[in-house]
């Protein structure tokens, strides 16, 4: 009799622990606009990091936006003004990856008051590194690995007027490409024939009117195939849940890449997020936080 009751007891304990661990339906990751949360009978402003329970209700104002993560690890975006019952939103969720929840926590901690204070301190600190007229927003050589073929190359040049010349060389100093642009960013596809046989390239940006006003060279190094295979396995755990082209999904991918020290891939993901939701300040702020904490922006 005792033997038969043991599985029932274990099941009850597991159910109880599961209920405790999952006492919320969604967490709020991103907010734009004047939005409210109703818990019980009272409406109150909603904040980033809030946990939404099944009995709660959301109200979005015009031109607002909310990015949510379901407890199962499924991200969703709300863009239309109106009221949303959390239970109704949950009922539409299918799939999900619990692995994504750790990137949720990372995003929330990165956007905390303390993180923002540290960002302001870092921005105002004296930079003791090499001073250049143009600063490429890419990591130092020890973190120059890249998994994807698409590279987002951006730079800060507030005191240097464009147009700019971007030169991409191989490791022997031979020129592979020279690109002129009036903008402060370009995209480069490393699968292009010009770069396909290169394991690594060097990038430098200069002002067209004064080539002496230039950036330091930055290394971009392709992962070896065994390294790519390892990342592919980890990425596969979340890929199906972030495959849709949304700003929130790109933010989660940026967190994944940063955790794996693939900062160049993270740069591209952040810039994609900003492009997909240009009016949501959170994405630009998160990108700035990322650049500062990883030494890419002073």
pLDDT digits (tens, 9 = 90+) for 195-246: 999 999 999 999 999 999 999 999 999 999 999 999 999 999 888 889 899 9
Helices and strands, counts by H and E, the chain? 8, 16
State the average pLDDT for the chain.
87
Q: What is the pLDDT of residue 98?
A: 78
φ/ψ of residue 128, rounded to 5: -95, 5
- The Cα–Cα gap between 188 and 206 comes to 17
- The Cα–Cα gap between 62 and 267 comes to 30
With H, G, I as helix, E, B as strand and everything else as coil, classify residue 262.
Answer: coil
- pLDDT tens profile 106-162: 778 776 666 566 655 655 443 444 567 899 999 999 999 999 999 999 999 888 999
Tokens of 2: 């005792």
Q: Set out the domains of the chain in order of their start, with CATH numbers.
A: 2-96 (no CATH), 113-125+230-293 (no CATH), 135-222 (2.60.40.3580)
């Amino acid at each position: 009799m005792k033997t038969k009751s043991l599985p029932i007891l274990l099941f009850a304990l597991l159910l109880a622990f599961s209920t405790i661990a999952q006492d919320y339906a969604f967490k709020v990751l991103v907010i734009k606009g004047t939005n409210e949360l109703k818990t019980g009978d009272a409406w109150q402003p909603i904040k980033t990091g809030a946990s939404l329970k099944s009995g709660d209700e959301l109200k979005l104002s015009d031109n607002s936006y909310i990015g949510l993560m379901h407890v199962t690890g499924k991200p969703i975006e709300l863009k239309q003004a109106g009221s949303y019952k959390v239970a109704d939103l949950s009922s539409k969720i299918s799939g999900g990856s619990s692995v994504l929840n750790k990137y949720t926590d990372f995003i929330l901690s990165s956007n905390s008051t303390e993180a923002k204070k540290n960002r302001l301190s870092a921005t105002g600190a004296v930079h003791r590194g090499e001073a250049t007229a143009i600063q490429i927003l890419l990591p130092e050589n020890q973190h120059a690995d890249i998994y994807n073929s698409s590279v987002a190359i951006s730079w800060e040049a507030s005191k240097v007027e464009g147009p700019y010349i971007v030169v991409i060389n191989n490791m022997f100093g031979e020129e592979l490409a020279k690109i002129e642009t009036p903008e402060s960013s370009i995209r480069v596809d490393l699968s292009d024939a010009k770069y396909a046989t290169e394991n690594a390239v060097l990038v430098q940006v200069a002002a067209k009117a004064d080539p002496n006003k230039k950036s330091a060279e930055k290394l971009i190094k392709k992962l070896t195939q065994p390294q790519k295979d390892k990342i592919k396995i980890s990425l596969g755990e979340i890929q199906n849940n972030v495959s849709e082209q949304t700003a929130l999904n790109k933010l989660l991918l940026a967190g994944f890449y940063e955790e794996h020290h693939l900062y160049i891939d993270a740069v591209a993901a952040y810039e994609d997020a900003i492009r997909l939701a240009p009016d949501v300040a959170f994405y630009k702020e998160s990108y700035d936080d990322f650049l500062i904490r990883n030494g890419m922006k002073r």
